[in-house]
């Protein structure tokens, strides 16, 4: 008997230590529709076993970097017939405050404030967006469910207002549920409605789960966030006598796994009519410096004190209810407001709420040269005159460019741009602009304008968005021509030679040797030696000009006599573990890059 007991204990310990089955399930990121900001999507989740959901990923409509939030609700027996019945839905979790959009079409991670525990069975799930709209697929579904061994998701519907209005179906939510089999001990609870007038008496219900056959054996409750245990009952009651918001903590133990603790922050609202909910607005959200912004407190719950932080340094900048503030520094500014009274306080932080844009107007255009520049953002930019000649453009930033050589130029936003851009190029001055090119989509949703220029000729151009679309972008200005860069011999020792630029008159042309621990070299030559120096290594460019450095930044001179000229470039790393060892043929190890033939184009 004692042997059997020891064996049972050992097996229990092994079960406790065993890793839980990963149950992640992704639907699809194919989408042709966007829900309203603040709207909800609905689907049915059938759990084949107990599941612990730690986070979600979803396709958010907002630009990359935008703060977003999510609330998760559950209803029994699926979503069908319950979408417009708010009383059927119970809140399970929300984001933990650290969720940001990754950009349309990309998975945005939503860490949850607490693990969601779903028992085996059929559950309706509602995901309420905060600060964004869900991306989803619409139309007649050919495959309206997704499944794995742990769960199945059946799609789906949406509403523009959570649990209200018209039901939009069919809607297939884009996202991933990050879950694992619920092996271990998971504390959870619910209660009667945790909001109401004083005295507020709540009945709490333990929902904790354990995979231990012995079940949960002890409970410890803290109802008011003072870190003092108020009850050890499984499902106790508690009466709140003072107004305020209270966090509730439950620690559940099963004697086998480590104790599990869940804290639901600000879970209880006692006398909610006098509990501040901080919020604010402003008369403008972006503009050129100095930008004067009038902030307006829109908080509810009868606050009597206000504390504003306009520069995200954690120090109060104003205690007025509706302050005026001047922003002189360019860039995005995060604003926080703490509203309080004798009962409670609440803080709202709006990330990148104000955008001070130095080049929002033509007169403040930023000068750019050849090559890739940025990143920039047109978020919260206004639309300047004159009216766009294409793309219903708007939300624009201004730049200038002076052509170093005579030739054919191209300006584009094809690199690292994350929204539907628009581009317009002008000659003349800010007071007398003449459009010479305007483009919406040339490289996908991004923009390209080509034009000819004389040496020294100046241009103005603006980058905006199709129909006021906003996001981040980079700008590349290039001089087009017939120049070429061709590999004539390969590298040895996996030594890279990277090139950025084009071989045309006036163009930047940059080279970089990817050294590890040795010394980098670069050299230019008029001839290709094609000289083998050890097995697999060929010395290409002649040593006409040697640079004891691993990178070379240069520009092709605007000299018409150089058109058609040819030279060779190669690099090396000396002193590391080389492809050519010591004595073969040099008294030091060496690895060589590829040799490039550069022909200058006009």
What is the CATH number for 54? 2.60.120
Phi, psi values for residue 39, rounded to 5°:
-80, -175
Alpha-carbon torsion, ordered 125, 130, 135, 140, to 10 deg: 40
Say yes or no: 41 and 164 in one domain. Answer: yes
Phi, psi values for residue 358, rounded to 5°:
-60, -35
Say yes or no: 175 and 61 in one domain. Answer: yes
Pick the closest to residue 514 from 595, 593, 569, 596 (CA basis).
593
Phi, psi values for residue 269, rounded to 5°:
-120, 100
The answer to whether residue 8 is domain-embedded is no
What rounded mean pLDDT belongs to the chain?
91
* pLDDT single digits (tens) 508-560: 889 999 888 889 999 999 999 999 988 889 999 999 999 999 999 888 888 88
Query: Residue 549, class by beta-carbon neighbours within 10 Å (0-12 exposed, 13-18 middle, 19+ buried)?
Result: middle
The answer to whether residue 2 is domain-embedded is no
- Maximum distance among all Cα pairs of the chain, rounded to whole angstroms: 99
Give the span between the Cα atoms of 243 and 175, in whole angstroms. Answer: 39
Give the span between the Cα atoms of 7 and 10, in whole angstroms. Answer: 5
Instruction: Evaluate whether 446 touches 439 at the Cβ level (below 8 Å).
Output: no
What is residue 352's predicted lDDT score, i.e. its pLDDT? 87
Say yes or no: 36 and 153 in one domain. Answer: yes
Say yes or no: 390 and 455 in one domain. Answer: yes
Place of tokens 């194919």: 30
Q: Which two tokens stand for residue 70?
A: 């999510």
What is residue 494's predicted lDDT score, i.e. its pLDDT? 80
Pick the closest to residue 576 from 490, 504, 521, 515 (CA basis).
515
The answer to whether residue 3 is domain-embedded is no
Encode 176-239 in three state secondary structure.
Answer: EEEEEECCCEECCEEECCCEECCCEEEEEEECCEECCCCCCCEEEEECCCCCCCCECCCCCEEE
Say yes or no: 231 and 90 in one domain. Answer: no
* pLDDT single digits (tens) 222-275: 999 999 999 999 999 999 999 999 999 999 999 999 999 999 999 999 999 999
* pLDDT single digits (tens) 341-372: 999 999 999 988 999 999 999 999 999 999 89
Say yes or no: 439 and 546 in one domain. Answer: no
The answer to whether residue 426 is domain-embedded is yes
Pick the closest to residue 157 from 125, 109, 201 (CA basis).
125
Pick the closest to residue 406 from 458, 457, 453, 459 (CA basis).
453
Which is more confident, 104 or 464?
464
> Which of left, alpha, beta for 218 (phi over 0: left; psi -120 to 50: alpha)?
beta
- Whether 2 shows a pLDDT value over 50: the answer reads no
Instruction: Evaluate whether 53 touches 112 at the Cβ level (below 8 Å).
Output: yes
Instruction: Evaluate whether 509 touches 554 at the Cβ level (below 8 Å).
Output: yes
Say yes or no: 415 and 335 in one domain. Answer: no
> Which of left, alpha, beta for 241 (phi over 0: left; psi -120 to 50: alpha)?
alpha
- Whether 8 shows a pLDDT value over 60: the answer reads no
The answer to whether residue 20 is domain-embedded is no
Radius of gyration in angstroms for the set of CA atoms belonging to the chain, rounded to a whole number: 32
Whether the pTM exceeds 0.85: the reply is no
Give the span between the Cα atoms of 500 and 429, in whole angstroms. Answer: 32
What does 73-103 look like in DSSP terms, one character per residue?
A: EEEET-STTTTT-GGG-EEEEEB-S--B---
- Whether 94 shows a pLDDT value over 60: the answer reads yes
DSSP symbol at 559? -
- Whether 318 shows a pLDDT value over 50: the answer reads yes
Helix (H) or strand (E) holding 16: helix 2-17
- Whether 14 shows a pLDDT value over 60: the answer reads no
Q: Which residue, 273, 308, 323, sits at the end of a domain?
A: 273
Helix (H) or strand (E) holding 6: helix 2-17
Pick the closest to residue 64 from 112, 104, 31, 111 (CA basis).
104
Q: Which residue, 181, 211, 245, sits at the end of a domain?
A: 181
The answer to whether residue 7 is domain-embedded is no
The answer to whether residue 381 is domain-embedded is yes
- Whether 20 shows a pLDDT value over 90: the answer reads no
- Whether 16 shows a pLDDT value over 80: the answer reads no
Phi, psi values for residue 233, rounded to 5°:
-75, 160
Say yes or no: 305 and 409 in one domain. Answer: no
Say yes or no: 267 and 412 in one domain. Answer: no
Helix (H) or strand (E) holding 17: helix 2-17
Alpha carbon 444 to its chain centroid, in Å, reads 21
What is residue 320's predicted lDDT score, i.e. its pLDDT? 98
Say yes or no: 489 and 558 in one domain. Answer: yes
- Whether 3 shows a pLDDT value over 50: the answer reads no
Give the span between the Cα atoms of 601 and 565, in whole angstroms. Answer: 8
The answer to whether residue 315 is domain-embedded is yes
Residue burial 376-400, b: 16+ Cβ < 10 Å; e: rest: bbbbbbbbbeeebebbebbbbbbbb
Instruction: Evaluate whether 587 touches 551 at the Cβ level (below 8 Å).
Output: no
What does 92-147 look like in DSSP terms, one character per residue?
A: EEEB-S--B---TTSEEEEEEEEEEEE-SEEEEEEEEEESS-BEEEESS-S--EEE
Provide, rounded to the nearest whole percent, the portion of the chain with pLDDT above 90.
Answer: 75
What value, to the nearest 5°, has the Cα angle with vertex 166 and ends 125 and 96? 35
Phi, psi values for residue 411, rounded to 5°:
-115, 130
Instruction: Evaluate whether 465 touches 383 at the Cβ level (below 8 Å).
Output: no
What is residue 150's predicted lDDT score, i.e. its pLDDT? 96
Say yes or no: 130 and 142 in one domain. Answer: yes
Domain that residue 315 falls in: 280-356
How far lies 23's CA from each of 55, 56, 77, 146, 148, in Å?
12, 12, 21, 13, 8
How far lies 243's CA from each of 80, 343, 374, in Å?
38, 5, 51
Say yes or no: 475 and 508 in one domain. Answer: no
Instruction: Evaluate whether 347 touches 336 at the Cβ level (below 8 Å).
Output: yes
Q: Which residue, 243, 273, 303, sits at the end of a domain?
A: 273
* pLDDT single digits (tens) 375-422: 899 999 999 999 999 999 999 999 999 999 888 999 999 998 988 999
CATH of the domain at 476: 2.60.120.380
Q: Which two tokens stand for residue 281?
A: 């607005």
Residue 364, classed as helix, strand or coil, is helix
Strands 371-377 and 472-480, bridge-based pairing: antiparallel
Q: How many domains does the chain have?
A: 5
CATH of the domain at 221: 2.60.40.10
């Amino acid at each position: 008997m004692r042997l059997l007991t020891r064996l049972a204990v050992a097996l229990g310990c092994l079960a406790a230590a065993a890793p839980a089955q990963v149950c992640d399930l992704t639907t699809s990121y194919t989408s042709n529709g966007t829900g309203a900001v603040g709207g909800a999507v609905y689907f049915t989740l059938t759990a084949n076993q107990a599941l612990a959901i730690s986070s979600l990923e979803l396709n958010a409509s907002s630009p990359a970097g935008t703060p977003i939030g999510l609330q998760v609700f559950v209803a029994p027996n699926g979503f069908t017939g319950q979408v417009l019945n708010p009383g059927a839905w119970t809140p399970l979790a929300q984001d933990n405050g650290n969720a940001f959009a990754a950009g349309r079409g990309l998975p945005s991670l939503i860490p949850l404030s607490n693990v969601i525990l779903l028992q085996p069975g059929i559950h309706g799930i509602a995901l309420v967006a905060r600060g964004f709209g869900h991306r989803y697929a619409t139309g007649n579904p050919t495959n309206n469910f997704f499944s794995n061994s742990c769960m199945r998701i059946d799609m789906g519907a949406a509403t523009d207002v959570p649990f209200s209005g018209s039901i939009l179906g069919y809607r297939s939510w884009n996202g991933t549920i990050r879950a694992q089999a619920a092996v271990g001990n998971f504390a959870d609870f619910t209660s009667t409605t945790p909001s109401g007038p004083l005295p507020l008496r709540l009945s709490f219900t333990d929902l904790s789960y354990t995979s231990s056959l012995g079940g949960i054996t002890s409970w410890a409750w803290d109802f008011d966030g003072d870190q003092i245990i108020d009850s050890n009952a499984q499902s106790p009651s508690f009466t709140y006598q003072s107004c305020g918001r209270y966090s509730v903590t439950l620690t559940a133990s099963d004697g086998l796994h480590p104790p599990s603790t869940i804290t639901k922050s600000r879970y209880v609202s006692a006398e909610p009519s006098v509990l501040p909910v901080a919020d604010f607005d402003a008369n403008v959200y972006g503009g050129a410096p100095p930008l004067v912004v009038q902030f307006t407190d829109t908080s509810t719950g009868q606050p009597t004190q206000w504390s504003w932080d306009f520069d995200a340094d954690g120090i109060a900048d104003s205690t007025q209810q509706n302050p005026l503030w001047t922003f002189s520094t360019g860039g995005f500014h995060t604003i926080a407001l703490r509203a309080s009274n004798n009962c409670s306080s609440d803080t709202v932080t709006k990330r990148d709420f104000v955008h001070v844009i130095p080049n929002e107007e033509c007169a403040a255009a930023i000068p750019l040269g050849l090559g890739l520049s940025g990143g920039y953002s047109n978020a919260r930019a206004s639309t300047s005159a004159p009216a766009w000649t294409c793309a219903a453009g708007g939300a624009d930033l201004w730049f200038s460019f002076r052509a170093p050589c005579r030739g054919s130029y191209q300006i584009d936003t094809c690199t690292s741009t994350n929204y539907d851009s628009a581009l317009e190029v002008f000659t003349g001055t800010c007071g007398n602009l003449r459009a010479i090119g305007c483009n919406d989509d040339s490289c996908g949703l991004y923009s390209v304008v080509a034009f000819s220029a004389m040496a020294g000729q100046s241009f103005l151009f603006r980058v905006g968005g199709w129909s006021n679309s906003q996001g981040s972008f980079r700008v590349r200005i290039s001089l087009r021509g017939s120049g070429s860069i061709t590999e004539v011999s390969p590298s040895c020792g996996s030594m890279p030679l990277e090139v950025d630029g084009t071989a045309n008159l006036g163009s930047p042309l940059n080279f970089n040797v990817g050294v590890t621990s040795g010394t980098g070299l670069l050299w230019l030559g008029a001839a290709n030696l094609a000289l083998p120096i050890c097995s697999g290594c060929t010395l290409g460019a002649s040593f006409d000009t040697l640079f004891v450095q691993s990178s070379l930044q240069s520009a092709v001179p605007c000299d018409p006599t150089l058109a058609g000229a040819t030279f060779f470039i190669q690099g090396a790393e000396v002193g590391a573990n080389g492809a050519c060892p010591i004595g073969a043929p040099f008294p030091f190890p060496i690895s060589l890059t590829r040799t490039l033939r550069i022909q200058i184009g006009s």
